[in-house]
Homo-oligomer: A and B are copies of this chain.
Amino acid sequence: MIGNVLVGQSGGPTAVINSSLAGVYKTAKDQGAVKVYGMLYGIQGLLEEKYLDLDEHIHSDLEIELLKRTPSSYLGSCRYKLPDFKEDSETYEKIFNILNELDIQYFFYIGGNDSMDTIKKLSDYAHTIRSNINFIGVPKTIDNDLEITDHTPGYGSAAKFIAATAKEIIRDSLVYDQKNVTIIEIMGRNVGWLTGAAALAGGMDCEGPDLLYLPEMDFNLDEFIKKVEELQKTKKALVIAVSEGIRLSDGTYVCELVDNVKFTDQFGHSLLSGSGKYLSNKISTELGCKSRGIELNTLQRCASHMASLIDITEAYQVGAAAVNAALDGKTGEMIVINRISNQPYQCNTGTYDIHKIANIEKKVPLNWIKEDNTGMSEEFMEYVKPLIQEEVTPIMIGGLPSHINYNKF
């Protein structure tokens, strides 16, 4: 028998974030946890005492399989930044009161680098008040921008969806015998891991995108138009992948050129969308050819019907590893994935000090991006290929993938 467990999900969801939840839940139960609670809507919901007893909602291994195949955060999520405890200890007292009431010994938070800030602050606070609750971070993000870990669960499935969709869009772009330019806008505020994954579309049966623009490199509008014009001399249908977060050298986001409106979320991040449409309108106007902007939008993070088996398996494994690390007495750490080899692809898990991970964004190395924007380096391709391998069969009922919910819907 082990102490009670509390698990939460935070930040933008992914297609496999629930597989990590399943990994935490199943491993905790197998290790003898009497109670596994789930906080609803992350730490923000917990502050409002919103939580549930997972045993009352997950009744069988079949339901665990369904949970692994359900996109978006089963427990709901939040984008909530904890205050500095030196300035506002009240919030912390409230949280720890709830943890004590529920007799929590192990606290797991599945999220990205913003969410790891929560684990960092809670474990730091626990240290000052000499609480012995273990706080462990479980990595999750489609953006793949977490430090230390080789890659992050959620990225592989998003990359697979992007590459598969890019292949289908490229086929579609070839259908008419006329000049046309398709811009695929891909998520990624400051990092281009997802946009780079569009390059995976290239292969024996597909040329892949003709140009790729990642936020790691300044975007130059004139050079872009010139490059498109140049490529059009030899090729009628062009497909270009751009990150939503591409910026001019003065720091202006391309999508801000549309309407000069700026939205920000609670972490101060700009909400970006529209770069693709802006560039496709620009091409239509300046080059006088047909152009279309396609925003992959939230489908990138919720298309669990295209999840990668590698990703869904690793998402489960980091959840399981988090429980075992906590049982080993660890706290203030995040589970990391270490790549051992590419051929055959092998990884194991470890733990790492959360202070070296929280709030830090890992960018795509500049030498992994071809300078002429025509593709990604061999190193990048070798890095990303294993992550999209193999498929998970959705449980199809009536022709559609089935999902699980804690309330009826």
Contacts and interface: CB of A to CB of B under 8 A. Distances in A.
Contacts of A402: 205
Given A44-B177, A175-B72, A168 B78 contact: no
B163 A400 contact: yes
Given A72-B172, A72-B175, A409-B206, A160 B399 contact: yes
Contacts of A385: 398-399
Query: Closest 10 interchain pairs by CB?
Result: A388-B399, A72-B171, A41-B177, A172-B302, A168-B302, A389-B399, A72-B172, A207-B409, A77-B175, A294-B297
A372 B390 CA distance: 44
Contacts of A50: 177
Given A175-B73, A177-B41, A396 B400 contact: no
Interface string A317-358: 000000000000000000000000000000000000000000
Contacts of A306: 305
Interface string A194-211: 000000110111110000
A307 to B, nearest CB: 11
A168 B72 CA distance: 8
A167 B79 contact: no
Interface residues of A, number: 65
A400 B200 contact: yes
A66 to B, nearest CB: 9
B167 A403 contact: yes
Contacts of A176: 41, 76-79
8 contacts: A78-B176, A165-B303, A172-B298, A200-B400, A204-B397, A206-B403, A294-B297, A389-B398
A308 interface: yes
A143 to B, nearest CB: 16
A72 B160 CA distance: 20
A171 B302 contact: yes
Contacts of A171: 70-72, 302, 403
Contacts of A163: 399-400
A172 B13 contact: yes
- Total copies of this chain within the assembly: 2
A169 interface: yes
A13 B171 CA distance: 10
Interface in A351-409: 385, 388-391, 396-405, 409
Nearest to A298: B172
A160 B304 CA distance: 15
Contacts of A41: 176-177
Contacts of A78: 176-177
A291 to B, nearest CB: 11
Contacts of A404: 205
Given A167-B400, A203-B398, 11 more contacts: A12-B175, A44-B177, A72-B175, A73-B175, A160-B399, A164-B305, A168-B305, A201-B400, A205-B404, A385-B398, A385-B399
A169 B76 contact: no
Interface string A1-40: 0000000000011000000000000000000000000001
Contacts of A391: 396, 399
A12 B44 CA distance: 47
B168 A71 contact: yes
Interface in A45-74: 45, 50, 70-73
